[in-house]
Amino acid sequence: MYRWSVIKILAPWFLLLAVTACGTMSQSDGNNDLAGGGIGGTGVSVGKITNAGGTSVDVNGVAFDTTNATVTVDGAAGDQNNLKVGMIVKVDGTFNPDGTTGVAANIEFKDILEGPVDIVDPASNTIVVLGQTVIVDGTTYFDYFFDLDVNGVVDLTEFMNDIVAGNVVEVSGFVDTNGIIHASYISLKYETFEDDGSDIELKGIIANLDTVAMTFTIGIQTIDFSNAAFEDMSIATLNNGLYVEVKSSAGVIGNMLIASKIELEDDGYHFEDNDEFKVEGYVTAVLLTEGKFNLAGQTVQIIAPTQYKDGSIVDIADIKVNMKLEVEGTVDALGVLVADRIKVESGDNGLEDDSDDDSDDDSTDSPDGADDDSDDEGDHDPS
């Protein structure tokens, strides 16, 4: 699969490009956790919601007060009730010095794709949506699905038994370096797609642009843009490498997604210098000689005081492509996240613990990511 397909992480905010001076290697500290010891101040937190209800949401170990927060859902005004466990969100606000609480000013949710299911594979707990492979597991939160039990909960077995090709689903999750989506949230939108004004949505990086045929690809999905309207860009500026959102009201015809609108996606997190930043996601590149790595589209700089939660990482050499990490620190003037603390997150399937897993130390080649790269936070499990 095309390596950078639908890569965002967390959601749909584009890769920040930045270069800083080389940092020295860092020391580990097994007594530090990202949930504590926060530095306080204004900043940004990008990650999945692990608890939602009342007037607060928990993201990356911080319970944010949402009383006066502006909530945006896929570009439209929303409210607290739209925020669900498992959604990957961007929170702008204030971190309290205790490191565990904060006040949200803005919360933004953007799904990573919405469209019809092409393939269901119960053997591997995967589905394919608009050509994108989506891994589901016991920590995926399922919303508005069939055969809900008395608690309104669907588990993994029920999901794999009930989902069928043609169902239209909305997906939020983390993307690894292979372009595989590890779903943290899936919602059933429609049982079947009908040309009734509803949209299919796909976000990703343009490849294989053909200006004669008027097509390009995102991952393995071909898009026909011959009749598309453009927003924040034009057909003249369409180019390989741009991160875009494709909307379609016509759907997929003959294995080709017929675009009705193409929008250039935002290209940054919009930091202020010295903002605090917390982010979780997959490592997509490691620059050993510079003491840096890319995490969910964000450049991270390791410095001497950088601390670690456990002993599985002691310096940059232990960080591998497709490891799933949570990082806390401050942003410098070039938009680089200077890491205070790094936490290794355990497997999405709930069976693996990355702190005891040696598989990531073998190579920087990308593993399949299905079993060992996501976190162990039980709040995702609706059961």
Burial class (CB in 10 A: 0-12, 13-18, 19+), 327: buried
Q: What is the mean pLDDT of residues 95-111?
A: 94
Side-chain-side CA neighbours of residue 232 (13 Å): 11
Asked if residue 112 belongs to a domain, the reply is no
* Residue range of the domain that includes 224: 200-264
Strands (E), 196-275: 200-205, 207-210, 215-218, 221-224, 229-231, 243-248, 252-253, 256-258, 261-264
Note whether 373 and 354 are within 8 A (CB).
Answer: yes
Q: What is the CATH number of the domain that holds 227?
A: 2.40.50
Asked if residue 243 belongs to a domain, the reply is yes
Tell me the CA distances in angstroms from 135 to 119, 128, 156, one per residue in order.
Answer: 12, 9, 11
The identity of residue 380, as a single letter, is H
- For residue 177, how far is the Cα from the chain centroid? 12
How many Cβ atoms from other residues are within 10 Å of residue 42's Cβ?
16
**Tokens 């397909």 belong to residue:** 5
Note whether 329 and 340 are within 8 A (CB).
Answer: yes
Asked if residue 212 belongs to a domain, the reply is yes
- Pick 150 or 270 by higher pLDDT: 270
pLDDT tens sequence across 134-152: 999 988 999 876 554 444 5
Asked if residue 162 belongs to a domain, the reply is no
Residue 365 is predicted with a pLDDT of 37
- Pick 112 or 267 by higher pLDDT: 112
Task: Kindly report which listed range (32-41, 112-121, 144-153, 265-274) carries the lowest average pLDDT score.
Answer: 32-41
Say how far apart CA 220 and CA 4 lie, in whole Å: 11
pLDDT tens sequence across 151-181: 455 788 888 988 999 999 999 999 998 889 9
pTM for the structure as a whole: 0.77
Asked if residue 218 belongs to a domain, the reply is yes
pLDDT tens sequence across 306-347: 999 877 888 899 999 999 999 999 999 888 999 999 999 865
Asked if residue 213 belongs to a domain, the reply is yes
Note whether 37 and 71 are within 8 A (CB).
Answer: no
User: CA triplet 348, 349, 354: central angle to 5 degrees?
Assistant: 65
- For residue 270, how far is the Cα from the chain centroid? 17
- Among 109, 103, 20, which residue's Cα sits nearest to residue 72? 109
- Among 284, 379, 370, 380, which residue's Cα sits nearest to residue 325? 284
Say how far apart CA 185 and CA 183 lie, in whole Å: 6
Provide the number of structural domains found in the chain.
Answer: 1
Asked if residue 220 belongs to a domain, the reply is yes
Residue 309 is predicted with a pLDDT of 81
Asked if residue 226 belongs to a domain, the reply is yes
